[in-house]
């Protein structure tokens, strides 16, 4: 995914301003910088024409209003390069989604397991809701996080793209490809330093060798951590992944490799920290969860006389 100005503007027009893709593509092609798009006036947008002088498209008043809101808003930052803007946008979408998910939780959506609740002695409403809401929120965050990190990696460098569009090598799934010249580097991304077992590592050892036989490179990448972490996975690397140091990208190494910037992980964290501050201010996601627990506790007490009464409704 080459994080270009045009791709960024097109993405924002389509995904955020809800402009038709064909219109968005034409509009984005007319701007060389993010700031020039933000500074453009309506007449410039309305008078985009083909080379023969024909007007390229018509924009409705609603479309113009949505584009105006995008240009005048803070979602696009003219001081950031396209890759950093993409990171900022994906982070805002991710955090907004998690907050909305928590705020929309209802007792019926918690999927409380009566057997588990009884076995864990969650015998009063507060305990039951604390456990259930935290579990539900964590499950949602973990599920979304993998897709979020994949997007962050894809927008981190101009030579990185999604491997799903490439033919698989001997039924092996790869997440990312970095292509420089004729050499491709295939990357399997793991969210942390302890996500693989012996069987998986042996499988990737064979897959990496097949890639290397074709003249390419292959790596297992971990999104955080260091090489000296004494995890089970790292111990297994040493036993079952030959030349494991040359075939893994761990923590900052992964981000440096995809971005061609040795300090990219620091820039990434700064952007994420800024987004979290702008959305949550002095709060945190924990505060959102605790507020939801209080809200559901009031609802629970209005509807049920006890935890046993609630559990009886689950059978």
Tell me: the pLDDT tens digits for 96-119?
Answer: 999 999 999 999 999 999 999 999
Calpha distance 77→210 (Å, rounded): 43
Calpha distance 95→97 (Å, rounded): 5
Find the mean pLDDT for residues 186-206.
93
**Residues linked to residue 172 through DSSP beta bridges, in sequence order:** 169
Find the mean pLDDT for residues 74-84.
90
Same domain? 72 vs 98: no
Q: Is the pLDDT of residue 165 over 80?
A: no
246: Cα within 13 Å, side-chain hemisphere: 6
Backbone φ, ψ for residue 138 (5° rounding): -65, -40
Q: Is residue 204 part of a domain?
A: yes
Same domain? 68 vs 9: yes
Q: Is residue 269 part of a domain?
A: no
Same domain? 149 vs 291: yes
Same domain? 47 vs 59: yes
Nearest Cα neighbor of 279 from 153, 93, 140 is 93
Pick the last residue of a domain from 17, 52, 79: 79
Q: Is the pLDDT of residue 26 over 60?
A: yes
Min mean pLDDT across 130-134, 164-168, 254-258 is at: 164-168
Task: Find the CATH number of the domain harbouring 245.
Answer: 3.40.1560.10
Pick the last residue of a domain from 18, 45, 79: 79
| Residue 104 domain boundaries | 83-155+283-312
| CB distance 315 to 114 below 8 Å | yes
Q: Is the pLDDT of residue 140 over 80?
A: yes
Strands in 160-162's sheet, in edge-to-edge order, are 160-162, 176-180, 183-190, 217-222, 248-250
Find the mean pLDDT for residues 115-131.
96
Q: Is residue 276 part of a domain?
A: no
Same domain? 151 vs 165: no
Find the mean pLDDT for residues 190-214.
92
Strand 176-180 relative to strand 183-190: parallel, antiparallel, unpaired? antiparallel
Q: Is residue 200 part of a domain?
A: yes
Q: Is residue 207 part of a domain?
A: yes
| pLDDT confidence band for 313 (50 / 70 / 90) | very high
Contacts of 97 by beta carbon, 8 Å cutoff, 6+ apart? 144
Q: Is the pLDDT of residue 236 over 70?
A: yes
| CB distance 249 to 190 below 8 Å | no
Same domain? 59 vs 203: no
Domain count across the chain = 3
Of residues 265 and 180, more confidence is placed in 265
Q: Is residue 271 part of a domain?
A: no
Q: Is residue 289 part of a domain?
A: yes
Strand blocks (E) in the chain? 160-162, 176-180, 183-190, 217-222, 248-250
Same domain? 193 vs 245: yes
Calpha distance 247→58 (Å, rounded): 52
Query: What does the pLDDT read at residue 175?
Result: 93
Q: Look up the pTM and report it.
A: 0.87
Same domain? 301 vs 224: no
Burial of 112 (0-12, 13-18, 19+ CB in 10 A): buried
Task: Output b/e per residue, 165-183; b: 16+ Cβ within 10 A.
Answer: eeeebeebebbbbbeeeee
Same domain? 166 vs 254: yes
Percent residues over pLDDT 90 in the chain: 78
Q: To which residue do tokens 């690397």 refer?
A: 237
Per the structure block, which two tokens stand in for 273?
């920290």
Same domain? 65 vs 89: no
């Amino acid at each position: 995914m080459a994080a270009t100005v045009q791709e960024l503007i097109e993405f924002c027009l389509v995904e955020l301003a809800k402009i038709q893709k064909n219109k968005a593509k034409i509009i984005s092609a007319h701007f060389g910088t993010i700031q020039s798009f933000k500074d453009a006036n309506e007449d410039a947008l309305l008078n985009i024409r083909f080379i023969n002088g024909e007007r390229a498209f018509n924009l409705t008043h609603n479309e113009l209003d949505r584009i105006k809101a995008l240009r005048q808003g803070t979602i696009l930052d003219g001081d950031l390069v396209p890759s950093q803007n993409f990171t900022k946008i994906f982070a805002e979408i991710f955090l907004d989604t998690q907050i909305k998910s928590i705020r929309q939780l209802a007792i019926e959506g918690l999927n409380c397991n009566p057997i588990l609740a009884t076995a864990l002695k969650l015998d009063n409403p507060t305990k039951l809701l604390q456990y259930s809401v935290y579990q539900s929120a964590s499950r949602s965050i973990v599920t979304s996080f993998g897709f979020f990190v994949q997007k962050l990696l894809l927008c981190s460098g101009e030579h990185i793209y999604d491997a799903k569009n490439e033919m698989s090598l001997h039924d092996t799934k790869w997440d990312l490809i970095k292509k420089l010249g004729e050499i491709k580097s295939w990357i399997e991304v793991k969210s942390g330093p302890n996500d693989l077992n012996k069987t998986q590592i042996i499988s990737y050892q064979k897959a990496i060798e097949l890639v290397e036989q074709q003249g390419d490179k292959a790596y297992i990448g971990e999104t955080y951590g260091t090489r000296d972490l004494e995890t089970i996975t790292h111990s297994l690397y040493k036993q079952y992944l030959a030349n494991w140091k040359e075939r893994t990208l761990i923590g900052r190494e992964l981000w440096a490799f995809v971005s061609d910037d040795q300090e990219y992980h620091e820039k990434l964290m700064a952007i994420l920290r800024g987004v979290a501050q702008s959305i949550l201010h002095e709060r945190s996601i924990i505060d959102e969860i605790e507020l939801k627990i209080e809200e559901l506790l009031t609802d629970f007490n209005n509807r049920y006389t006890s935890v046993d009464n609630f559990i009886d409704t689950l059978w």
